[in-house]
Chain A
Amino acid sequence: MIAALLAGLVFFSLFAGQLPPVWLAAVCLLVVLLFLLGGGHHHDSVLTMDVYARRSRLCRENAAFKTVGSLCLLIICICSSSPIPPLCLFLFLSVATVAAGGVKLREYLSLLGLPAVFLLLSGLTLLWDFYQKLPEQAVVSLPFFGGWLAVVPAAQSLAMLVLSRALGAVSCLYFLSLSTPLPELLAVLRRAHVPAIVVELAVLIYRYIFILLATFRDMKDSAASRLGYRGLKRSLRTTGLVYGGLLANSFRRAGACFDAMESRCYTGQIAFLTPKKKVTGKLICLLGFPLIGMLAGVWLFF
């Protein structure tokens, strides 16, 4: 709800003075409606993105190629000095993730809603500035404690650029993370000579996340069945105790896990089998085409 209203306000200040009022109202209403319908960030399953990645049709492609390609796109995207190439990239990669990857459109939109609050709040500060005197070119202005809060065209174009770059970059991130399960990414990091201890730690952390989440769910349910979450004060107390219990539990499990590893001849290195995946023509098209496009676009608009 709040995100929807914020989005309306941001889009209003973004396009005020550039579009006729009817169009402006239409754009704002459309955005508000989109947010009301598509928004909503639910907590039932923490690891939704992991599930989507494993279900994705692009999961079978080569992970190293996907990682390098997406990172290159990401870098070119944030180097762009015009909003048009990142917006095109956003459209292309969103279509690629949904059509080629097989993520449902509704799910993709609700994932896009996740960073929206940050984007909108900071977009607001980029757009509205405090002035002692009302600037002449101000499109929208409000009196505020003896000065003026106003939106000027320069701020509008900056906000437009930042918003579009962020959107483009988020689509790159989603393309990567919605098509590549985390263990494969970590294998790529290992091949890129990230210190072995860090990668090993990351692999273990990834595995423990599932154990801890399952334990947490049990603890929370049993606390809830004893009315542990009634009222703010009591639920804070319960949450603190559950987290403490979870941490204590996890340390105990780490002990048990170590014993199991020792008895299986653990000598300080954990070896994993990673299946080899070939680079296919489909993937080269999916990443090569936007790469060439972005390079051309950034160069053209420079």
Chain B
Amino acid sequence: MTTVEKKIMSFSIVAGLVFCVPQTASAMHIMEGYLPPAFCIGWGAICLPFLAAGVIAIRRLVQQHRKSILLLAMAGAFVFVISSLKIPSVTGSCSHMTGTGLGAILFGVPATSVLGLIVLVFQALLLAHGGLTTLGANTFSMAIAGPLLTWGLYQAGKKLRLPKLLNVFLAAMLGDLLTYCVTSVQLALAYPSAEGGVWASMVEFLAVFAPTQLPLAIIEGILTMLVMMGLETYAKTELHELRSAKGGLFK
């Protein structure tokens, strides 16, 4: 390195450290055009069975209770809206929830995966968040893997008789963390590092996104918990209606 280069380098490192407060932390979507074609197709193919199951479940549900299409649409709009809104977090940074954990707890995994897909298309087209070619990969991490874990943990917690709010918090937080880990794995698989391969590259991606994603997961957990609390207080009847509709979703 020449001296000028060294100076620029050290300046940028110092400045980077000084301002190392995450500023924009969105739910981590892989951006448009980032993955090579083979991976786009592969991840899309993995999502297909889940989406097919979701479409079948929703179609059956709507045939039985026509009103449920409106409930689902409202839920989808809700997930989109909260994922586009700013949530409070550490000093001046701005971050967004994923909302799919809440969806999984309220509506189950098959419906959430279809809603998640629609929301991801909307996010790509309306918010430039994520993309059309990376839709498969994002659907898998956001709308399938995360909700599956959240739903599984929530059910397991119910069996173990964990306090309800703690259970919701843990399920939502860990689901969000899994989304971020899966995204890192997806990135690492597509671009393994020259020395150390996929593993080293995954560690790098995890490390780079950790400062923004770890606090976000905790905040997501807390907010999901609070939303559930609010729903139990103010919307008992709707929640009950939803449960009976959801019963239809799993038949």
Instruction: Assess whether A250 is in contact with B78, with CB atoms less than 8 Å apart.
Output: yes
Which of B82-90, B141-149, B153-161, B173-181 faces chain A? B82-90
Kindly report which residue of chain A lies nearest to residue B222, judged by CB atoms.
A236
Instruction: Assess whether B77 is in contact with A255, with CB atoms less than 8 Å apart.
Output: no
Instruction: Assess whether B40 is in contact with A78, with CB atoms less than 8 Å apart.
Output: yes
Instruction: Assess whether A205 is in contact with B227, with CB atoms less than 8 Å apart.
Output: no
Instruction: Assess whether A201 is in contact with B24, with CB atoms less than 8 Å apart.
Output: no
Minimum CB–CB distance for B3 against chain A, Å? 9
Instruction: Assess whether A166 is in contact with B132, with CB atoms less than 8 Å apart.
Output: no
Minimum CB–CB distance for A294 against chain B, Å? 13
CA A240 to CA B232, docked complex, whole Å: 12
Which secondary structure dominates chain A's binding surface?
A: helix
Instruction: Assess whether B226 is in contact with A166, with CB atoms less than 8 Å apart.
Output: no
Query: Residue B53 at the A interface, CB < 8 A?
Result: no
Query: Residue B242 at the A interface, CB < 8 A?
Result: yes
Interface residues on A, range: 35 or more
Instruction: Assess whether A75 is in contact with B82, with CB atoms less than 8 Å apart.
Output: no
**Could you say which residues of chain A place their CB within 8 Å of the CB of B223?**
236, 239-240, 243
| B residues in contact (CB < 8 Å) with A | 1-2, 4-5, 8-9, 12, 15-16, 19-24, 28-37, 40, 55, 58-59, 62-63, 66-67, 69-78, 80-82, 84-90, 94, 114-115, 118-119, 121-122, 124-129, 131-133, 187, 191, 193-196, 200-201, 204-205, 208-209, 219, 222-223, 225-231, 233-235, 238, 241-242
Instruction: Assess whether B81 is in contact with A173, with CB atoms less than 8 Å apart.
Output: no
Instruction: Assess whether A254 is in contact with B70, with CB atoms less than 8 Å apart.
Output: yes
Instruction: Assess whether B23 is in contact with A1, with CB atoms less than 8 Å apart.
Output: yes
Against B, the Cβ 8 Å flags (1 = close, 0 = not) of A169-189 are: 110111011000010010000
Kindly report which residue of chain A lies nearest to residue B190, judged by CB atoms.
A162
CA A141 to CA B6, docked complex, whole Å: 10
Instruction: Assess whether B33 is in contact with A25, with CB atoms less than 8 Å apart.
Output: no
Minimum CB–CB distance for A91 against chain B, Å? 15
**Could you say which residues of chain A place their CB within 8 Å of the CB of B238?**
248, 251-252, 255
**Could you say which residues of chain B place their CB within 8 Å of the CB of A200?**
69
Partner pick for B12 among A5, A22, A125, A172, CB 8 A cutoff = A5
Identify the 8 closest CB pairs spanning chains A and B, nearest first.
A240-B226, A244-B230, A169-B33, A248-B235, A204-B73, A208-B77, A235-B88, A251-B238
**Could you say which residues of chain B place their CB within 8 Å of the CB of A252?**
235, 238
Instruction: Assess whether A173 is in contact with B118, with CB atoms less than 8 Å apart.
Output: no
CA A77 to CA B33, docked complex, whole Å: 8
Query: Residue A195 at the B interface, CB < 8 A?
Result: yes
In the complex with contacts A24-B5, A243-B82, A197-B125 CB distance below 8 A: no
Query: Residue A212 at the B interface, CB < 8 A?
Result: yes
Instruction: Assess whether A111 is in contact with B118, with CB atoms less than 8 Å apart.
Output: no
Query: Residue A295 at the B interface, CB < 8 A?
Result: no
